[in-house]
Amino acid sequence: MAAREPKKHEMPTQKPEVRAHNFNEVALGYTAEIAASEAQRCLGCKNKPCMQGCPVNIDIPEFISHIKQNDIEGAYDVITKSSSLPAVCGRVCPQESQCEHECTLAVKLNMEPVGIGRLERFVADTHRLNKTGETVRPEPNGHRVAVVGSGPSGLTCAGDLAKKGYAVTVYEALHTAGGVLVYGIPEFRLPKSIVADEVNTLKELGVEIVTDVVIGRTLTIDELFEQGFEAVFIGSGAGLPNFMNIPGESLNGVYSANEFLTRSNLMKAYSDSSRTPIMKGGNVAVVGGGNVAMDAARTALRLGAEKVYIIYRRSMEEMPARKEEVEHAMEEGIDFRILCNPAEILGYRNPDNPRDPKNGFVRAIRCVRMELGEPDERGRRSPHEIPGSEFELDTDTVIMAIGTSPNPLIKSTTKGLEVNRRGGIIVNENGLTTRENVYAGGDAVTGAATVISAMGAGKTAAKAIDEALGSK
Amino acid sequence: MNRIISKKELNPTVTLMVIEAPLIAKKAEPGQFIIIRSHEDAERIPLTVSDFDREAGTVTIIFQIVGAATMRLNTLREGEFVESFAGPLGKATHTEGLKKVAVVGGGVGCAIAYPVAKKLFEQGAEVHSIAGFRSKDLVILEDEFRAHSAKFFPMSDDGSWGEKGLVTDALRKLIESGEQYDEVITIGPLIMMKFVCMLTKEYGVRTIASMNPIMIDGTGMCGCCRLTVGGKTRFACVEGPEFDGHEIDFDEAMSRSRMYADFEKREREETCNLLKAAEGGNA
């Protein structure tokens, strides 16, 4: 047998200087030839360590073996036994810290792991292109389940239950299904047509999706039970954006990442025909070091910013964003100002003209340099301000990407639903809340986390709901 | 998709629509709002509920044609559908225990003030309503206010309707004449609410102001609607839209309301031209 290639096949991407000015997808996907060749790198380990690293337990060696035999539909069937959103996961999962992190090539042989995520995406995209015929609807089992929120956890829970014959209704507060996949993650990382296709696949399975209904307001959880639903899954997602509580955060030109991304993604402010305003051009400072910060920074760049800064108070090592996203952002020219923390956002005020249209808008952000102290008991080095190190960056827009706090709507209208100190819904290991037959998962439980962990929670809850109702 | 049951022009720039929305009609209370999107590619805009009929399953909205979004909404006719209609959002006006209240509305804000006055009146409270308009031809809901107020004080900038003057003139006169209100509730342009609150602060009368900031989702996700109340950041969509008027930073709210003024002006002109062209084509 030929020597195994030590490196993953590279993902074909748009060139940084080109993609920095368009909203088309950055990564173009493996061709059939590259996928076949990458699949050959998989050892097909009997103990399947990669599978342990997957929050939804996809039988990874099995789907890759189908690629090896050029049976892409077979590979798709293996993946969809475990994942309702393969085209999404193949794009946005942090594989490097999950399945690929456990790959024997990396763990034992000091090579790069198999490009599992890239192969998953290849399989899902190939299926999308070649799809023929209708999805077969499972035989109804007579049980009804309501799902609150159509983000990754809700869609996963709905998909898993629908496949078992449950009549599932998904309620979405916004006008488009997909949750964070639609309003949060930008087009260049996850095309909205792909989300729409995944949602349509669920509809073909019989899932009903009701948009523009706000659970906690239009209908309460109790009313869902009155309507005959036997179980409810709450996947309402993250809530109100956090701000730093520094002076100047209410100036015009200061956005939460949620707002900035919602304007661009859900409301399509990036397209010329959109009716939704967004501040474009000038200098943009994004505060935070997570995936959301990267998405906001790269969106601002594509909207026409001259200069985009990421301001992060720790160092590159501590940055929570996926490595690939950070690399992409750097290639595109995002200016990383690490070990810096904003102290104040400064506004423009013309003392001679109270009607100057620039009054009340951001003109600069004042930051202080940070240094990392000794590691704390959790091993994380906490940042400290360096006295006298303050400096200003001229900026027109500031985007706060420093997390969210859970939405109070459902909690405040559902008796007996308990939340923790941070407002996250309390659940047991099966996703069951403190209310009978009410399950929850995703950011509504954990606070801001990843798409795949939310999907994992949706899956766990679906299994528990099936165990609770299926025997009735 | 929600059907427009009826549509009525209240004055040249203000339109009333009755929308079929049984789930929302069942729940809506004065002070709450809905998010409406007229067309598939339209903006999401918040509009406060001005009336509801729980049995008929309808919600009434009254809107001023101020920008592109309301202009397009106004092109829809009876029997047609709005793309989205979600709610009821925000917290309802707190009316419990109030015995004597002054309700102060300005301009199209009267559309929101009216259901509050009505609810208080029906609860048996003594309601003094003060309504202010620029001039007679812009007046809305006069009969409705009169029918649900112990006393009604019409005010206009030019004196063409009721008394000439500002709503604050009427309110000051009432307070100085010895009227003691449990609460003043004010809804209207930010500048008007600011001055109402300054006045009542002077006299120590508790005052609630209904805010209508720029929103996107309206459900507590984007933070666009934030304002400063008592030095703290608050979100109008889930914690409001009503706040203690003496604590609101009105100057900041006014500044924030102008964030997209340029864009809105351009959009309004473009939409106006498009609609005119379409009308010309039909003629």
Cα dihedral angle (B150, B156, B162, B166), rounded to 10 degrees? 60
Does residue A60 have a pLDDT over 50? yes
CB pairs under 8 A between A and B: 113
Q: What is the pLDDT, as a whole number, of residue A153?
A: 95
Distance CA B184, CA B179 (A): 11
d(CA A213, CA A219): 8
A135-168 per-position pLDDT tens digit: 788 899 999 999 999 999 999 999 999 999 999 9
Long-range contacts of A129-136 (CB under 8 A, 24+ apart): A130/A72, A130/A73, A134/A204, A135/A201, A135/A204, A135/A205
Q: What is the pLDDT of residues A8-35, one digit of tens each?
A: 999 999 999 999 999 999 999 999 999 9
Provide, as residue numbers in chain B, all residues whose Cβ is less than 8 Å from the Cβ of A263. Answer: 216
Helix A72-82 with A116-130: angle, nearest 10 deg: 110
Q: For B217, which of A251, A262, A276 is closest by C-beta distance?
A: A262
Q: A267, B216: Cβ pair inside 8 Å?
A: yes
Smallest CA–CA distance, residue A247 to chain B, in Å, is 11
Query: Measured between beta carbons, which residues in chain B are less than 8 angstroms from residue A183?
Result: 217, 221
pTM over 0.90: yes
Place of tokens 């989702």: B217
| pLDDT value of position A471 | 67
The answer on pLDDT for B281 being more than 60 is no
- pLDDT tops 60 at residue A236: yes
Assigned CATH topology for domain B91-200:
Rossmann fold (3.40.50)
Cβ pair A250:B256 closer than 8 A: yes
User: Rounded to the nearest 5°, which phi and psi values hold at A387?
Assistant: -60, 140
Segment A182-201, tens digit of pLDDT: 999 999 999 999 999 999 99
Which residues in chain A are closer than 8 Å to B264, comparing Cβ atoms? 277
Report CB contact under 8 Å: A245, B217: no
* Start and end residues for every CATH 1.10.1060.10 domain found in chain A: 16-130
Task: Say which amino acid occupies A285.
Answer: A
Q: Name the burial class of residue A40, with classes exposed (0-12), middle (13-18) and buried (19+) by CB atoms within 10 angstroms of its CB.
A: middle
Measured between its terminal Cα atoms, the distance across chain A in Å is 55
Q: Residues spanned by CATH 3.50.50.60 within chain A?
A: 144-239+406-470, 243-402
DSSP assignment letter at B259:
T
CATH of the structural domain B2-89, one choice from 2.40.30.10, 2.60.40.60, 3.40.50.150, 1.10.3720.10: 2.40.30.10
Asked if the Cβ–Cβ distance from B223 to A240 is below 8 Å, we say yes
Taking a C-beta distance cutoff of 8 angstroms, is the pair A310, A286 a contact?
A: yes
Cβ contacts of B67 within 8 Å, gap of 6 or more: B264, B267, B268
Closest approach of B41 to chain A, Cα-based (Å): 7
Q: Which residue has the tokens 């990407």?
A: A401
Residue of chain A nearest B217, judged by CA positions? A174
CB nearest to B255's CB, from A241, A268, A360: A360
Task: Give contacts of A360 with chain B, Cβ < 8 Å.
Answer: 255-256, 258
The position carrying tokens 């892409």 is A72
State how far the Cα of A439 lies from the Cα of A154, in Å rounded to an integer.
11
What is the pLDDT, as a whole number, of residue B45?
92
Q: Torsion angle of alpha carbons A451, B88, A462, A421, nearest 10°?
A: 70
Nearest residue on chain B to A172, alpha-carbon basis? B86
- Interface mutation target, options A150, A169, A171, A175, chain B, most CBs of B under 10 Å: A175
Work out the percent of chain A whose per-residue pLDDT is above 90: 80
Contact A258/B at CB under 8 A? yes
What is the per-residue pLDDT across B202-245, written as a single tens digit (0 to 9) for each? Answer: 999 999 999 999 989 888 889 999 999 999 999 999 998 999 99
Q: Are B190 and B241 in contact (CB under 8 A)?
A: no
Q: What topology is assigned to A243-402 in CATH? A: FAD/NAD(P)-binding domain (3.50.50)
Between the two ends of chain B, the Cα-to-Cα distance in Å is: 29
C-beta atoms surrounding A462 within 10 Å: 30
What confidence tens digit (pLDDT) does each residue in A448-472 have? 888 888 999 999 999 999 999 976 6
As a whole number, mean pLDDT of residues A166-179 equals 96
Cβ of A409 within 8 Å of Cβ of B219? The answer is yes
Query: Nearest Cβ partner of A239 from B221, B224, B263?
Result: B221
- Give the closest of B85, B226, B255 to A212, CB-based: B85
Statement: A144-239+406-470 belongs to CATH 3.50.50.60: yes
Rounded Cα gap, residues A439 and A419, in angstroms: 13
Would you call A405 an interface residue with chain B, using a CB distance cutoff of 8 Å? no
Residues A277-303, mean pLDDT to the nearest whole number: 95
In this chain, the answer to whether the domains covering B2-89 and B91-200 adopt an identical fold is no
- Tell me the domain boundaries of chain B: 2-89, 91-200, 211-283
The residues that bridge with B207 in the sheet, in sequence order, are B184
Name the CATH architecture for the domain at A16-130. Orthogonal Bundle (1.10)
- The dihedral formed by the CA atoms of B143, B144, B150 and B151, expressed in degrees to the nearest 10: -50
**Count of beta carbons in the 10 Å neighbourhood of residue A447:** 18
- A159: nearest Cα among A89, A127, A207: A207
User: Best interface-test mutation with B: which of A169, A171, A220, A259 has the largest number of B CBs within 10 A?
Assistant: A259
